[in-house]
Amino acid sequence: MRHISEYRDASRMGPLLDAISASVARPINLMEVCGGQTHNLLKYGIDAMLPEQLTMLHGPGCPVCVTPLELIDQAIAIAKIEDVIVTSFGDMLRVPGSHTDLLGARSEGADVRIVYSPLDAVDLAEKHRDRQIVFVGVGFETTAPIDALAVLRARQKDLDNFSLLAAHVLVPPAIDALLCAGDVNIHGFLAPGHVCAVMGYTEYEALAERHGVPIVVTGFEPLDLLVGIHMAVRAIQTGQATVFNQYRRVVTREGNVPAQQTMRRVFALCDRKWRGLGLIPNSGLRLRSELSRFDAAARFGVAGLTARESTECRAGEVLRGALQPPQCVAFARECNPDHPLGAPMVSAEGACAAYYNHRRT
Ligand code: SF4
């Protein structure tokens, strides 16, 4: 297949659904890790067409959703400092912090701007030498290389008014933590295709072997998802605990080596707190010590800020696959896109937003 429309060809879906049904011989819980996959499963009604014995659990692969509350509070605290411009991607602005969100801070006078790339923030720093420019960098291995490039460009241009509030997280340690916790029965995973396009999938091979589950690197289009699900179900039924690559048109085993090298020049591993999953060792990226002058949390003295998650919002359970969004009592009532109680209702990749947009009734 060469065109994207072919990956959405409804006439090819029926035979795949039949093949999946024929392969499922017992109850199976399969987790798609990425929020983009969750949205397409619901948007195209795939989850509703799967056999009853097969349950899709939605994983922690929404970067905005797993960003801890204190990161939002830190960004807001920095935005309130005079002569600071805080920049980020659009959906970060509406993620609730402890008391308000970045949009709320902007309405109270803070200079908060949407950018489409961290490199735009570097350009802003070059243009406004008298202001401090902070980029709030959240995301998985997909966004880390471009954030790393922004830091390298700021160093090359000798910009002492650019800094990064970094909260990057890594997928494999999160899968490991979910499987070690063991409170949700997960028989297999659809790994995020775009993360694996950068990182390859060698890390997932060790995970599959250690935990005895198959992991299928999967794309995002309807036929990608159905083929990925079929591969995972067959592997579960036949006891193959290994990695399969459905997304071969994009992903290689080694991934994008230059992008990985750029990341490693700028970032080192660190323990990171995830919303809903708690502190996961070596699951995040921090700036290397030789680049610590670009660390916004240290520059503005907000690293020590802590926050307590809301008891109203059950995002933690949603992100672990322990709760489907409609099972939250606030879903589509107190919590909706106009008045979100938690990040999964705000983010373009959030599971609660996916159910709200595609499966409210
Ligand atoms: S529906 Fe709203 S309150 Fe419930 S878990 Fe999702 S974001 Fe949180």
Q: Are residues 77 and 164 both part of a single domain?
A: yes
Q: Give me ligand 1 centre to Cα 167, in Å.
A: 22
**Tokens 């990695």 — which residue?**
243
Q: Are 136 and 88 in contact (CB under 8 A)?
A: yes
Q: Are residues 258 and 171 both part of a single domain?
A: yes
Q: Are 86 and 73 in contact (CB under 8 A)?
A: no
Say what the pTM is: 0.92
Q: Give me ligand 1 centre to Cα 316, in Å.
A: 9
Shortest-distance atom of ligand 1 to CA 312: 3
Give the residue whose CA is nearest to atom 6 of ligand 1.
352
User: Which residues partner with 207 through β-bridges?
Assistant: none
Going by C-beta distance under 8 Å and a sequence separation of 6 or more, which residues neighbour residue 43? 354, 357, 358
Q: Are residues 173 and 239 both part of a single domain?
A: yes
Q: Are residues 232 and 337 both part of a single domain?
A: no
Q: Are 171 and 195 in contact (CB under 8 A)?
A: yes
Q: Give me ligand 1 centre to Cα 250, in Å.
A: 33
Q: Are 35 and 60 in contact (CB under 8 A)?
A: no
Phi, psi of 129 (to 5 degrees): -65, -20
Query: Would you give the distance in Å from CA 125 to the centre of its chain?
Result: 27
Q: Give me ligand 1 centre to Cα 38, in Å.
A: 16
Give the residue whose CA is nearest to atom 8 of ligand 1.
313
Count the domains in the chain: 2
Q: Are residues 167 and 276 both part of a single domain?
A: yes
Q: Are residues 230 and 328 both part of a single domain?
A: no
Domain of 124: which CATH number?
3.40.50.11740
Q: What's the CA gap between 262 and 163, in Å, rounded?
A: 17
Domain that holds residue 334: 315-358
Q: Are residues 299 and 324 both part of a single domain?
A: no
Q: Are residues 323 and 270 both part of a single domain?
A: no
Give the residue whose CA is nearest to atom 3 of ligand 1.
313
Q: What's the CA gap between 56 and 361, in Å, rounded?
A: 18
Q: Which residues form the pocket of ligand 1, taking CB atoms under 6 Å from any ligand atom?
A: 313-315, 318, 325, 328, 330-331, 335, 341-342, 344-345, 352
Shortest-distance atom of ligand 1 to CA 323: 5
The pLDDT profile of the chain, 361 residues, written as one tens digit per residue, is: 777 788 888 888 899 999 999 999 999 999 999 999 999 999 999 999 999 999 999 999 998 899 888 999 999 999 999 999 999 998 889 888 888 999 999 999 999 999 999 999 999 999 999 999 999 999 999 999 999 999 999 999 999 999 999 999 999 999 999 999 988 999 999 999 999 999 999 999 999 999 999 999 999 999 999 999 999 999 999 999 999 999 999 999 999 999 999 999 999 999 999 987 889 999 999 999 999 999 999 999 998 888 877 788 999 899 999 999 999 999 999 999 999 888 899 888 899 999 999 976 5
